[in-house]
Structure 1
Amino acid sequence: MTAEFGVLGAVEARIDGRSVDLGHARQRCVLGVLLVEAGRPVAADQLIERVWGERAPQRATGALYSYLSRLRGAVAGAGGVEIRRDPGGYLLTVDPQAVDLHRFRRLMTLARAAESDRSAAALIEQALDLWRGDPFGGLDTRWLSATRRTLLSERFAAELDGNDVLLRLGRHGELLPALSAAVAEHPLDERLAGQAMLALYRCGRQADADERYRRIRSSLADELGSDPGPELRRLHQQILAADPALAVPSLEARASSAVPVAATASVPAQLPADVRAFTGRTGELTALDRLLAPDGDEPPLTVALLSGTAGVGKSALAVRWAHRVRESFPDGQLYINLRGYDAEQPVAVADALAGFLTALGVRGPEIPPGTDERAARYRSELTGRRMLVLLDNASSVEQVRPLLPGTGSCLVLITSRDSLRGMVAVHGAERVNLDLLPPADAAGLLRKLIGVRVDREPEAAAELAAACARLPLALRIAAELAAERTDVSLSELVAELGDHQMRLDLLDAGGDPHAEVRAVFSWSYQNLPSGAARTFRLLGLHPGETAHFDAVAALIGAGDGETRRLLDVLTRASLVQAGRGGRYTMHDLLRAYAAELAARHDPEPERRAALTRLFDHYLAGATTAMATLYPAGEEVPGDPDTARSWIEAERPNLAAVCTSGAAHGWYQHTIDLAATLFRYLDAGGPVTEAVTVTASAVTAARAVGDHASQARALANLGRLHRRQGRLHEAAETYREALVLYARLGEPAAEALVLRNLGSVDWRLGDYRRAADHYLRARTLFGELGDDAGRADALVRLGLVDARLGDETRAARRFTSALELYAELGDRFSEAYVLSLLARLPHRPASLDRAAELLEESLATVRRNGDRTAEAYALTDLAAIEARRDRLAEAAGHLRRALVLLRRIGDRASEAEALNDLGQVLLAAGDPSEARAQHGQALELAEEIGDRYEQARAHDGIADGAGPHLERARKIYADLEVPAAPTLSPGARRRPTEP
């Protein structure tokens, strides 16, 4: 019997054309998960999480077993289909082409590799015909919702690719109606707008094409505050000039064309420089080439693996091949050295994903906090793109699996000393094993590097190659030394190397496979001048992957001229590699060897002094940069762009210094560096590094018993957790800080933490506890004579009153705070409180005064580049405009605020703003779009645990009836609050909050 399965619509199964009863919704969810992961095991706890989310019942495991048993019975008898238990979990064995999702992806992969546009158009049409509606129709869990969005993005990318093909085929007339409808649905998509403009132009409607451009330019300015990208601007100029290049391509041009990358996509080009004097490996290069052009109807492979011993040339081969085929990946190339065999600093999966997302155009604050969420966002960003991903120096399957794209249009090339059998068994990777260079190729590499001396002494050259174990890394080092000593014959050098190999006490008596390589290292090292040898050893202590020239100078304690001379010696000897911007790096084997030498030859006090100088250098640099970016007075002590560039370039090293310092005893450096960097990282730096740096400071402060620094770092870490929407972790961290501040007798800091802890309680819906924390904070602020703090506590207490339905007391507290802010001359806070009064539905407010102050605030924060304050001011201004019944203006402010909130990563305020926008749109007569905004708010509020915003979202989706309304009422009742008014006031950090 033949079986067919579908998820691109309702989850369904057919055996011999007959529909199969798959049971209730939860059971269909289980099958949906297994179909998406067809051929890959899914662990039981992962299945439960995907099917139930956080609402899994106590007996979820038993229910899951029951569902799986019924599903086995439903598909029994279908040939080649089985649900079975594997060591890794539950596995659905099925021909991928029997599942519409995998058939869709295969067809799109074939279409993107098609030799002609006609073939591509037919394949894309087949792929799109498989869709029956929204994926997993009628089913709704958090995982299914996220996967649904990813799949819809894939479909949209396929449609765009199909449009490009049809335009090249000259079918612009028949395509134009569909393009017009799609543009209405996606008004900000520049690639789609460009396709519509081109179709209009080719239909003889040049003026309409110009108008289409003007519309998207206006929409981008209004919604995102940005201009069209260079591709769309160039197309517009071509249309205005009636450029002949816009005519329908000729048959020859169409035959050689490829599906272009989206105009708005970020196109990374991260490959390292190609390898100098690359020699041999023709068989391996040919094997890799075959991956791009498989035999028969099989689609191109998506994962390839280069494996072999250290120093055999895996990275060099991977980089050489990647440069050869980069034109086959027009959407870019991603590269990372995972440092899988670095005992101190292997790259964490979360950090690798953050780097890739940044390269793909995702702003730092938009990068999700968790590894799984980052992996999902990474797969979404790669959907529809044809990219090469080079994962260099991986240590395990676990390190690379989250870095695999979810689309067949990308190729992943992995290098590893390990065989990574799981990649072959589970992911179908094609392995290419690298052995030692053949003797002829080894001699050829030496010939390229040192010239005719190889031909003069062929036997000595062969011995030299053998002494280097025919490993390219060792051959290059030996060749550089031979090139430096032209007065010495190759025979003498070989004899010298043999002597070193006999004397080398680093050799492993048990048979170290790298023994001969170390002998070559030793040979090269022994011939270094003493200063260069010391520099080489100390470089092995650097905790980061690269070091700038200035950092090397600090590490070795030398002046610029001497440092440059020593680095030149090491570069010529191939012991370090010079990179862009004055940065230097080392092969991981050389780094390990250098660290071993440092431990053996440099006394511990000298090693510690060297690292102290290095850490002093990074701390001083960070202090100077931060003083420039955030000056204490009117005068700026340097160039802000230079300061920002320095921090961005050194961020990985600064994080590595904090991690290493906390682990190895440089506690004060870690504490001071984390405190110095916090404001920058909190304002817009990658969340992963902010958390790493701050958590290291907590560890360091605990180690030395510095309770003041520990409390400060905990308070900062709580703020990061709160910003990420990890509210329970934020509360726990704040409480720990609160205990320390109370013990230290620091009431000002204690008051701030109390206030922030109250804000977390507010988000969690515990308003009584929030009020208690706010009251305690107000008391402390009052005892300290801090009127600004007292006013802020009054505002927050007023917010609790408003939430609980006591508008009279809320208005009284807001008014008291307003008077204090007026006395203090704090116009920013005055504007904020006026906007809160405007949100109270039954209270009059000074709308004109509020709008005037908020416009003034907006102008100031925009001049200062404070995106957080700008987002908050926009949401406040939207509340004023909504009260004035200027709904279009309110919606515009909220849309601009949402762009900023996503950039800075303020997920709680984003949920609020989405609900606000939904309410404004509903009032403006657009219920469909209003429900869409509330739907996004609901998903986000559920993720962060903000129950009040969940209730507002359910309320908006319900539109007065149905299960969503019941759900909203239940949450309101649980929270003991009345239903939300329009633009309900929210508790969040004001721009001036410390």
Structure 2
Amino acid sequence: MAAEFGVLGVVEARIDGRPTDVGHTRQRCVLGILLIEAGRPVSVDQLIDRVWGEHAPQRAASALYSYLSRLRRAVADGSDIRILREPGGYLLTVDPQTVDLHRFRALMTLARSTESDAPAADLIEQALGLWRGEPFAGVDTPWMDATRRTLLSEKFAAELDGNDVLLRLGRHGELLPALSAAVAEHPLDERVAGQAMLALYRCGRQADADEQYRRIRRSLAEELGSDPGAPLRQLHERILAADPTLVATTPQKSTKEANPPTQLPADVRAFTGRTHELASLDRLLAPAGGDEPPLTVALLSGTAGVGKSALAVRWAHRVREAFPDGQLYVNLRGYDAEQPVAVADALAGFLTALGVRGPEIPPGVDERAGRYRSELTGRRMLVLLDNASSVEQVRPLLPGTGSCLVLITSRDSLPGMVAVHGAERVNLDLLPVPDAIGLLRKLIGARVDQEPAAAAELAAACARLPLALRIAAELAAERTDVPLAELVAELGDHQGRLDLLDAGGDPRAEVRAVFSWSYQNLPDGAARAFRLLGLHPGETAHVDAVAALTGTAVGETRRLLSVLTRASLVQAGRGGRYGMHDLLRAYAAELATAHDAEPDRRAALTRLFDHYLDGAKAALSSPLSSPLSDNARAWIEAERPNLAAVCAHGAAHGWYQHTITLADTLFGYLDAGGPAAEAVAVTASAVSAARSAGDRQAQARALSHLGRLHRRQGRLPEAVATYRQALTLYADLADPAAEALVLRNLGSVDWRLGDYRQAADHYRRAWTLFESLGDHAGQADALVRLGLVDARLGEEKEAAQRFESALDLYAGLGDRFSEAYVLSLLARLPHRPASLDQAAGDLERSLAAVRRTGDRTAEAYVLSDLAAIDARQGRLTEAATHLRRALVLLRRIGDRASEAEALNDLGQVLRAAGDEAEAGDQHGQALALAEEIGDRYEQARAHDGLDTGRAGRIFAGLRVPTPPQLLMTPSTHSTVTGRPRDRA
């Protein structure tokens, strides 16, 4: 009989494809040791030391003999597999190629000796595909921990070797996501940094490659006091010099083809039956003649737990080759009362997978849906929308092209999808009895045929639902010494008790009995962990978060999760994360309500929310003089959905202070380049929480933050309304400092809307408050803004006076950076002399400072200021370079208003340099963006650059003169100590 063993994950054994019970943690530890040493004897003393370390009990040898005896019985079905007592100790007679670890090592040895890259890449992919998670998951002993670290180092080395091969094959585009994750996990590894730099450079991202080098150079200096080695320094020099030998020898695919998304979940183990349904889906792939066919939509509908998702995933994996441009997947959680996935969030996830960067994702649902349809045009893709609750949740996620196929699963029949969109419905009923018994046979083996009547009763007791059958089978596999008939009788007892408790006709009642059966057989600690995990507001949780939720140590939490995973009550994912089927989540939450007192439930969630709040504070605690470390950034990025879910849950259920503090902690990070929709959602939760708590100061602060987010995203009317609410609150609270900042920000929105008189009024009121507070920096900032209004209205003399007054204030403060910024504004005035060389030097120092802080917003603004001085001094090439770099940053952070301004600036510089075609392209982009956000002045500048004849009318309507053609117009930002003041 064929046997397979695994240690690259949970220690497991399979005989003829069926799982074999290998016992509890220490027994699995013994098996893991023998598998590592396959074919070599291990002494009793070595086994005891490796299993217990320094804390071996007095009867350790007796316990060890008991473990070995049970393991002999467990693997006895494998004809050539024995655990033998040899003179040197115990030996497992097993072919090393049946053990995933030895197979991994053999494949890597072969790959490294292969001269051709293509087969080497295939071998490395096979080797890495054997890994299922952390080796020996759930087994924590000193020896195992050390061995685990060694094996993870082997895996990392294999990944790096694979990266080198793929880079030689020209597959740098598809490598970038994995390389970004590797750089975050190993911030001091020069080899992975070099691979990331090379991939970025080959993808046309020279600036990002340079930033990657500067990041590791800073990290090495801070952590180790050393510089990068010669190979990395030389690679950096070659990148800066655009060395042609760095170009990939194999042509790179186009952007759409380079890294197609492959988001499908893992295929389903032991899938059984559904041949008719699979055939119905197969018919959807039949080619249509003539023009492109209409969009094909398939709908799998049926009751909860009937296997809709399993069937959809199985079929999607079967036909994935028919969709060469990739597969998109989202679990919409449509029947989760607390956390269904918003359409906007689903679209954002798809756009990200399709290569659209966060700041480029539009803020509104309709705009996102339009961009999504545009991105799918011409692509042959499969889109799997799992667990949808309504047509409204699905409709915006439909592509606009017949080259794609959409597969939807839902408990609802969704008649609108059939009537309006012509969806092909495939209804899933309960599994036929033979298929239900066949699934049990695949999962628990020969016992089904030994007790056919009991197996049929078990299938009936599980309502022939695949989810229930799998859970029941896992429990039966754990209790190999108990006859199936006895287990069925036990299940019947649980069913009776549940029937007495539940007479409400809940559709989940059919599977509650199976859930209860499995739950009742859990140890107390695992049962409590299961209940509490149902309270987690996010979709998945890291083991550290589960430890906080349960109040147990991380090692113990891993053990509890391992128990729940083996019982199929939770699913283990990548990176130490765990999730639950939505039915199980609902059942766990019901149990928590029934068995855990409300104070205990609240205490558990408070610990969880404390964990996320402390983690966010720690990740974002770096001083402004240091960039956010890669590890901290990786933690924030991994936990962003949970952090947003915590804010939403906290605002709705009384954790008001957690929500307020977490939103405050996250604001700077999200504002500086995080996903726009998430930043708005988190900040809106803070507004709601502060209002519910009666904390007017926090409410005003959150409203001010929300106004800034609206302004940065070009949603100017929303920004005005939100700022006015904050202003009213601050006035009532008698907080003149905060009131002044909001007035200043309101003036900036007026500026963008072209209402310069209103902007000036707000700036003057802000200046008055700053003066009363003795805030010289605030006064100088208000003067600069008033000068900008004067300059835009053509009042050059008044503008120069205000700028010079601001210069005096900044000089008194010793703020050289802001002085440089004001000098750059004076340089923009057509007839005003200024100390341009001094301004350029100070701005260069300012640029170095903001780069050290990692503040991309300030860096973009300083680059724009430098471009103004370059243009005034006739250095048009340098000005264009600075503006292009600024545009890259502005797009990353989502500052759409400043992006329109910079595009027009670049258009003017290019026209002055004689490049009419490229100048027209920049002005065209500026026009589209300015019209979208409602910035009339930048619309006029774009029309002026395009020579459409409409600029004069818009300038006249705004009551401003036409700006000079060879000079750029004043910016609307202010830099103080290298940072924009309106970040406050």
Cα distance in structure 2, aligned partners of 1:603 and 1:223 = 52
The verdict on how the C-alpha distance between 1:562 and 1:736 changes in structure 2, with shifts beyond 3 A counting, is same
Q: Which residue of 1 aligns with 2:873?
A: 884
Report deviation, 1:565.
2.2
- 8 Å CA contact retained: 1:755, 1:793: yes
Instruction: Name the SS of the counterpart of 1:495 in structure 2.
Output: helix
Q: 1:288 aligns with which of 281, 284, 292?
A: 281
Cα distance in structure 2, aligned partners of 1:534 and 1:695 = 33
Instruction: Name the SS of the counterpart of 1:413 in structure 2.
Output: strand
- 8 Å CA contact retained: 1:662, 1:699: yes
Amino acid at match of 1:330: P
The verdict on how the C-alpha distance between 1:426 and 1:576 changes in structure 2, with shifts beyond 3 A counting, is same
1:849 and 2:838 are equivalent in the alignment? yes
Cα distance in structure 1, aligned partners of 2:689 and 2:626 = 34
Report deviation, 1:536.
1.4
1:311 and 2:294 are equivalent in the alignment? no
1:738 and 2:732 are equivalent in the alignment? no
- 8 Å CA contact retained: 1:937, 1:950: yes
Q: Which residue of 1 aligns with 2:696?
A: 707
Q: 1:477 aligns with which of 471, 478, 482?
A: 471
Cα distance in structure 2, aligned partners of 1:302 and 1:895 = 42
Report deviation, 1:387.
2.3
Instruction: Name the SS of the counterpart of 1:504 in structure 2.
Output: helix
Cα distance in structure 1, aligned partners of 2:623 and 2:291 = 61
Q: TM-score, normalised by structure 1?
A: 0.72
Instruction: Name the SS of the counterpart of 1:414 in structure 2.
Output: strand
The verdict on how the C-alpha distance between 1:413 and 1:218 changes in structure 2, with shifts beyond 3 A counting, is closer
Aligned runs of 1:302-381 on 2, under 5 Å?
302-381=296-375
Q: 2:260 aligns with which of 261, 267, 271?
A: 267
- 8 Å CA contact retained: 1:882, 1:920: yes
Q: Which residue of 2 aligns with 1:970?
A: 953
Structure 1 stretch displaced more, 456-465 or 869-878:
869-878
Q: 2:594 aligns with which of 600, 624, 630?
A: 600
The verdict on how the C-alpha distance between 1:295 and 1:918 changes in structure 2, with shifts beyond 3 A counting, is closer
Report deviation, 1:265.
4.3
Report deviation, 1:817.
1.4
Amino acid at match of 1:455: D
Q: Which residue of 1 aligns with 2:189?
A: none
Aligned runs of 1:891-970 on 2, under 5 Å?
891-958=880-947, 964-965=948-949, 967-970=950-953
Q: Which residue of 1 aligns with 2:270?
A: 277
Report deviation, 1:349.
0.3
1:174-197 per-residue CA deviation (whole Å, 9 max, x = no partner) reads: xxxxxxxxxxxxxxx999xxxxxx
Cα distance in structure 2, aligned partners of 1:686 and 1:989 = 24
The verdict on how the C-alpha distance between 1:785 and 1:525 changes in structure 2, with shifts beyond 3 A counting, is same
- 8 Å CA contact retained: 1:436, 1:470: yes
Report deviation, 1:560.
2.0
Cα distance in structure 2, aligned partners of 1:870 and 1:797 = 23
Q: Which residue of 1 aligns with 2:571?
A: 577
Report deviation, 1:863.
3.6
Report deviation, 1:421.
2.2
Q: Which residue of 2 aligns with 1:9?
A: none
1:501 and 2:501 are equivalent in the alignment? no
Q: Which residue of 2 aligns with 1:984?
A: 969
Instruction: Name the SS of the counterpart of 2:808 in structure 1.
Output: helix
- 8 Å CA contact retained: 1:305, 1:415: yes
- 8 Å CA contact retained: 1:955, 1:968: yes
Report deviation, 1:267.
2.5
1:716 and 2:702 are equivalent in the alignment? no
Cα distance in structure 1, aligned partners of 2:930 and 2:288 = 49
1:530 and 2:515 are equivalent in the alignment? no
Q: Which residue of 2 aligns with 1:391?
A: 385
Cα distance in structure 2, aligned partners of 1:331 and 1:752 = 49
Amino acid at match of 1:976: R
Amino acid at match of 1:867: R
Q: What do you get for the CA RMSD once the two structures are aligned?
A: 2.9
Amino acid at match of 2:745: N
1:619 and 2:610 are equivalent in the alignment? no
Cα distance in structure 2, aligned partners of 1:540 and 1:763 = 47
1:829-862 per-residue CA deviation (whole Å, 9 max, x = no partner) reads: 2221111111111111222222222222223333
Cα distance in structure 2, aligned partners of 1:828 and 1:870 = 12
- 8 Å CA contact retained: 2:430, 2:464: yes
Cα distance in structure 2, aligned partners of 1:683 and 1:400 = 31
Instruction: Name the SS of the counterpart of 2:565 in structure 1.
Output: helix
Cα distance in structure 1, aligned partners of 2:572 and 2:773 = 56
Report deviation, 1:263.
6.8
Cα distance in structure 2, aligned partners of 1:746 and 1:905 = 30
1:729 and 2:718 are equivalent in the alignment? yes
Report deviation, 1:776.
1.6
Cα distance in structure 2, aligned partners of 1:713 and 1:592 = 33
Cα distance in structure 2, aligned partners of 1:563 and 1:298 = 57
Report deviation, 1:333.
2.0
Amino acid at match of 1:916: D
Q: Which residue of 1 aligns with 2:557?
A: 563
The verdict on how the C-alpha distance between 1:381 and 1:863 changes in structure 2, with shifts beyond 3 A counting, is farther
Cα distance in structure 2, aligned partners of 1:533 and 1:222 = 52
Q: TM-score, normalised by structure 2?
A: 0.73
- 8 Å CA contact retained: 1:662, 1:670: yes
Q: Which residue of 2 aligns with 1:747?
A: 736
Cα distance in structure 2, aligned partners of 1:295 and 1:358 = 31
Q: Which residue of 1 aligns with 2:451?
A: 457
Instruction: Name the SS of the counterpart of 1:422 in structure 2.
Output: helix
State the aligned residue count.
Answer: 753
Cα distance in structure 2, aligned partners of 1:493 and 1:483 = 11
1:706-749 per-residue CA deviation (whole Å, 9 max, x = no partner) reads: 11111111110110011011111111111111121122222221
Instruction: Name the SS of the counterpart of 1:385 in structure 2.
Output: coil
Q: 1:646 aligns with which of 612, 623, 635?
A: 635
Report deviation, 1:260.
6.6
Report deviation, 1:237.
7.2
Cα distance in structure 2, aligned partners of 1:621 and 1:737 = 29
Q: 2:623 aligns with which of 631, 655, 659?
A: 631
1:449-483 per-residue CA deviation (whole Å, 9 max, x = no partner) reads: 11111010011101111111111100011111111
Report deviation, 1:236.
8.5
Report deviation, 1:823.
3.0
Aligned runs of 1:663-674 on 2, under 5 Å?
663-674=652-663
Instruction: Name the SS of the counterpart of 1:390 in structure 2.
Output: strand
Amino acid at match of 2:408: I
1:107-137 per-residue CA deviation (whole Å, 9 max, x = no partner) reads: xxxxxxxxxxxxxxxxxxxxxxxxxxxxxxx
1:283-321 per-residue CA deviation (whole Å, 9 max, x = no partner) reads: 222332332234666867632222211101111111222
Report deviation, 1:800.
0.8
Which consecutive unaligned segments of at least 5 residues does structure 2 have? Answer: 1-171, 175-197, 213-234, 236-242
- 8 Å CA contact retained: 2:616, 2:665: yes
1:666-722 per-residue CA deviation (whole Å, 9 max, x = no partner) reads: 111111111111111111111111111111111111111111111111110110011
Q: Which residue of 2 aligns with 1:466?
A: 460
- 8 Å CA contact retained: 2:727, 2:739: yes
Q: 1:769 aligns with which of 747, 758, 769?
A: 758
Cα distance in structure 1, aligned partners of 2:500 and 2:952 = 73
1:333-363 per-residue CA deviation (whole Å, 9 max, x = no partner) reads: 2211100000110000001111111222222
Report deviation, 1:622.
0.9
- 8 Å CA contact retained: 2:609, 2:646: yes
Which consecutive unaligned segments of at least 5 residues does structure 1 have? Answer: 1-188, 192-212, 229-234, 247-258, 959-963
Report deviation, 1:751.
1.4
